[in-house]
């Protein structure tokens, strides 16, 4: 295993990079102009956070790779994002459900990171918390609005939840990287956030009149990089094509 702090930074940065790219895929094709702009703002926030996390990862690694190198010159098996982030957009409801499930975890985790023993980690978390607070507010309202909306919007949101819920568990699985982070006082155990997450999820789903699937099965393999879903590779061919076709091209 490489340096656990490097792994940790890649996990944070790859989450925001992959989800940020996914959200940016809505640019110009969202159902209404206002949502289009809001989603683009969210994507930009996430890409901005990526620059900080992957920038720090490069520094920690000390091999001269910067955020761009890490983002555009790695292949699927090097990515450390959770599987939830790479799931396709589907319809607007599925995108917002994915966003809500991720935002809830993201905000809790970032809040915990604000008291990290690592100064830069704490600083990145503090900056990100302000942005992610708004992301969560927006995705929560939309999940409630569409879940408790028309028959069709309700059905679509339930379908989105059924489809995505099996990707929630991975965000709370502890492994040796997490153990090293806990040891160093850098980050909390992901599993320690599960109870709070579930309470918040249940409250929002109740208001949205949605039903949480009973099966607690959790897909895993994203944050370790062992087994990404097929979707990430397809996404990277789009996201990285320019650097693959014209390595080190600049503006």
Partner 1 sequence: MSSPESSPYKDSEASPHEETRKTEWPLWEVFIRGQHGLSHRHVGSLHAPDAEMAIKNARDVYTRRNEGVSIWVVEAVHIAASSPEEKGSLYEPSNDKVYRHPTFFDIPDEVGAM
Can you give the binding site for partner 1, defined by CB under 8 A? Answer: 31-34, 37-38, 41, 134, 137-138, 141-142, 144-146, 149-150, 152-153
**Residue 158 · residue 139 · CB < 8 Å:** no
From the CB of 130, what's the least distance to partner 1, in Å?
13
Query: Which one, 41 or 229, has the nearer CB to partner 1?
Result: 41
From the CB of 207, what's the least distance to partner 1, in Å?
13
From the CB of 94, what's the least distance to partner 1, in Å?
15
Query: Which one, 16 or 142, has the nearer CB to partner 1?
Result: 142
The token duo for 183 is 């040891």
Query: Which one, 99 or 142, has the nearer CB to partner 1?
Result: 142
Q: Which residue has the tokens 């699985």?
A: 173
Nearest of 5, 174, 25 to residue 92 by alpha carbon: 25
The token duo for 19 is 């989800």
From the CB of 156, what's the least distance to partner 1, in Å?
9
From the CB of 205, what's the least distance to partner 1, in Å?
16
Query: Which one, 141 or 198, has the nearer CB to partner 1?
Result: 141
Contacts of 191 (CB under 8 A, 6+ apart): 172, 173, 174
The token duo for 73 is 């010159």
Task: Give the count of beta carbons closer than 10 Å to the beta carbon of residue 233.
Answer: 14
**Residue 58 · residue 70 · CB < 8 Å:** yes
Query: Which one, 145 or 233, has the nearer CB to partner 1?
Result: 145
**Residue 190 · residue 109 · CB < 8 Å:** yes
């Amino acid at each position: 295993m490489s340096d656990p702090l490097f792994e940790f930074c890649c996990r944070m940065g790859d989450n925001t990079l992959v989800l940020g790219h996914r959200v940016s895929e809505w640019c110009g094709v969202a159902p209404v102009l206002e949502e289009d702009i809001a989603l683009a703002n969210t994507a930009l926030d996430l890409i901005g956070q990526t620059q900080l996390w992957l920038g720090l990862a490069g520094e920690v690694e000390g091999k001269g790779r910067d955020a761009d190198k890490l983002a555009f010159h790695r292949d699927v098996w090097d990515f450390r994002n959770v599987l939830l982030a790479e799931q396709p957009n589907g319809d607007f409801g599925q995108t917002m459900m994915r966003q809500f499930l991720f935002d809830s975890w993201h905000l809790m985790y970032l809040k915990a990171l604000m008291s990290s023993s690592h100064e830069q980690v704490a600083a990145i978390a503090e900056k990100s918390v302000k942005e992610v607070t708004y992301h969560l507010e927006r995705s929560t309202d939309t999940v409630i609005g569409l879940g408790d909306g028309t028959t069709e919007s309700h059905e679509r949101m339930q379908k989105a939840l059924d489809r995505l819920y099996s990707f929630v568990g991975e965000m709370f699985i502890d492994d040796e990287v997490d153990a090293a982070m806990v040891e160093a006082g850098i980050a909390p155990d992901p599993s320690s956030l599960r109870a709070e997450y579930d309470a918040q999820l249940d409250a929002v789903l109740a208001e949205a009149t949605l039903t949480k699937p009973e099966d607690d099965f959790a897909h895993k393999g994203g944050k370790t990089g062992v087994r990404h879903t097929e979707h990430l590779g397809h996404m990277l061919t789009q996201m990285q094509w320019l650097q693959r076709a014209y390595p080190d091209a600049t503006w």
